[in-house]
Amino acid sequence: MFSSLIGLFTYFLAFISGVEAPLGTSIVMALGLGGLFGLAVILFPVFVRVDGIRCYSFLGIYQTILWSDIAQVRRQSVTGLLYMVVKNISGWKEIWIPLYLSDMPKFIQAVRAAAGEDNLLVQELNRVFPVQEAG
């Protein structure tokens, strides 16, 4: 969806600036970006563990941050895609958790169960994805 909007926006910008850009080019760009992000979800899984969370950094390097070592959590957007950026106490480790995982509810439930409600990551996830009351 998002990649389609990028393609249409690119086409629109080319159109209003007077540059000839075939619609096909925009469609190919949109499909390419969509494929790239889909591939990233497959190639870079996020692991919720009993002791912490294992995910990749901005550069794609996998790191594990223990639940007790989480010191800062912030939301970050990259080309319209949201991430939770988690830093450890020393500030040397930083992981980027995509907020467009294929099964986000299951991920959030696993993080809540493993980390506990007092954890900074759980608190920020609760802000973005509020807990739905049953009934």
Domain that holds residue 95: 45-128
Cα separations in angstroms, 123 against 36, 109, 119: 30, 12, 6
Do 79 and 16 reside in the same domain of the chain? no
Q: How far apart are CA 39 and CA 67, in angstroms?
A: 28
Q: How many domains does the structure of the chain reveal?
A: 2
Q: Kindly state whether residue 123 falls inside one of the protein's structural domains.
A: yes
Q: How far apart are CA 35 and CA 17, in angstroms?
A: 28
Do 65 and 111 reside in the same domain of the chain? yes
Q: Kindly state whether residue 18 falls inside one of the protein's structural domains.
A: yes
* Closest of 118, 79, 113, 73 to residue 97, by C-alpha: 73
Do 74 and 114 reside in the same domain of the chain? yes
pTM for the predicted model, two decimal places = 0.69
Q: Kindly state whether residue 57 falls inside one of the protein's structural domains.
A: yes
Do 29 and 50 reside in the same domain of the chain? no
How does pLDDT run across 71-98, given as a tens digit for each residue? 999 999 887 888 999 999 998 999 999 9
How does pLDDT run across 27-83, given as a tens digit for each residue? 666 666 565 555 555 666 899 999 999 999 988 899 999 999 999 999 998 878 889
Q: Kindly state whether residue 134 falls inside one of the protein's structural domains.
A: no
